[in-house]
Structure 1
């Protein structure tokens, strides 16, 4: 299981949920993983988990709302072959209750930070003639909702950027794709799931909430060479939206 041996991956938001599952799976496949997060304790736990499975990892703390900290993260990561832009923030506020500061923070963490990381790291990938970038978006990017509007806007921007970056860097050997998860059971989503039992699961054909490893499986496919002909695509991993099907 060493398809990614010799490659280095940076995973943002890798101390919990989808990001943690992605980091562990990448390491299991042979990649050396740069684990990003804000909490050194949780970062150390992920590194210990990876090393306990025979993998290699190190932790770098950074606040993605701070552009200078994003630049420091990119420098600390060094030459990476794989970038997974997973970190994000979400608040279930309607537009009247979303302050300018709230809106700016959503854009800073969910959109600007990935933009800066790609700007810093993709040129190196292009120079080496190989690289894979995966942006974790959300079904909120394409499904209208009365709350979480700033979040949806920030993720919609990421889907356009995914296609733009695929065009910008694809000829140099860098593939850029996205994964759009539906409801997934994570530490962040547990309060919402508890408050609306059955509602989120009932929104998809599978009739259940997704698990982080199910999203990580898709990310793994998109960064490995077996997906070498896939570029500029956002893969839906949402159990099948009922509203998207006729009848």
Structure 2
């Protein structure tokens, strides 16, 4: 099989010329592979990460393939940096057609950010929540918002008290909880966009268990060594496979008009019952705005639903 993610996603023939895409966490792993593929398909790509050298390398590779790209540095644990990223996107583009909320990770150490929120939850959920809501009026008609979640959300239930401290911290449990928040956020965003009459879709996805993504570097040894070894095992999801999931969500014609869904295996999946709880989604949406100190986007949608 062709190793290119766009071929694996069945979108190699999709013309992205004239479109604008932002891929967060795109200096490594599946985000990088997806950004490169979008560039090959003709999109102008905003590359995001924390390492300027790595970002410059991705931009160079996109430009070498005939595409156009810029890099914006931002630490997702820093609220001001995320605000600056949104501002840079507004400056660099006249609108967005694709927003891929891919940045995140599993972090072994328990600590709080400046907002007093557990680090994993902040980076994986609060940062993309703020970035997306800051760019809502910059999304073009038919734009797609894609949020990288994980099957790891299963077994977790929303507990907003647990994100205010790091007592008995578990990196795996914190990651599972944050990924649940990703699914809830994407679904609630879809509902509120529809209520507001916006022709923009929002979906979350499970990219697969990907050794090459680098997530295991935050775990204690010998887990990272074992995960790295899995890269060579047939049947384990590759970076190209994971990037294909992002591309399927971002530009497959099969998903035209599809919103509020959880995607897996390049198809429609079913998340956990906790991830389909509308009251939990509304609580998460309101809490996120409150802790970030911003006005709740689309509050009329909550009022009409009785939330």
What interval of TM-score do these two structures reach, taking the shorter chain for normalisation?
0.7 to 0.9
Q: 1:13 aligns with which of 10, 17, 25?
A: 25
2:225 to 179, 191, 194: 194
Greater displacement, 211-220 / 161-170: 211-220
- Contact kept, 8 Å, 1:222 with 1:230, in 2: the verdict is no
> Is the counterpart of residue 165 in structure 1 residue 189 in structure 2?
yes
Out of 179, 182, 185, which is 2:211 matched to? 185
1:226-241 alignment, distance < 5 Å: 226=253, 227-237=255-265
Residue 237 of structure 1 deviates from its aligned partner by 3.9
Residue 186 of structure 1: CA displacement? Answer: 2.0
**Deviation per residue, 1:157-192 (Å, 9 max, x gap):** 110011001111143110111111231032514653
The yes-or-no answer on 1:155 pairing with 2:155 is no
**Following the alignment from structure 1 to structure 2, what is the Cα–Cα distance between the partners of residues 61 and 147?**
25
Count of equivalent residues: 228
Contact 1:183 1:200 in 2 (8 A): no
Alignment match, 1:213: 240
Please, what TM-score do these two structures have when normalized by structure 1?
A: 0.82
Pair 1:214–1:199, CA change in 2 (3 A):
closer
> What are the residue-to-residue correspondences of 1:15-164 with 2, within 5 Å?
15-78=27-90, 79-92=95-108, 98-100=110-112, 104-125=118-139, 128-143=140-155, 148-164=172-188
The answer to whether 1:176 aligns with 2:202 is yes
- Deviation of 1:122 (Å): 1.9
Please say if residues 230 and 236 of structure 2, whose CA atoms lie closer than 8 Å, have aligned partners that are also in contact: no
Q: What is the TM-score with the length of structure 2 in the denominator?
A: 0.67
1:33-84 superposed Cα distances (whole Å, 9 cap, x missing partner):
0000011100011011111111111100011111111010011012322110
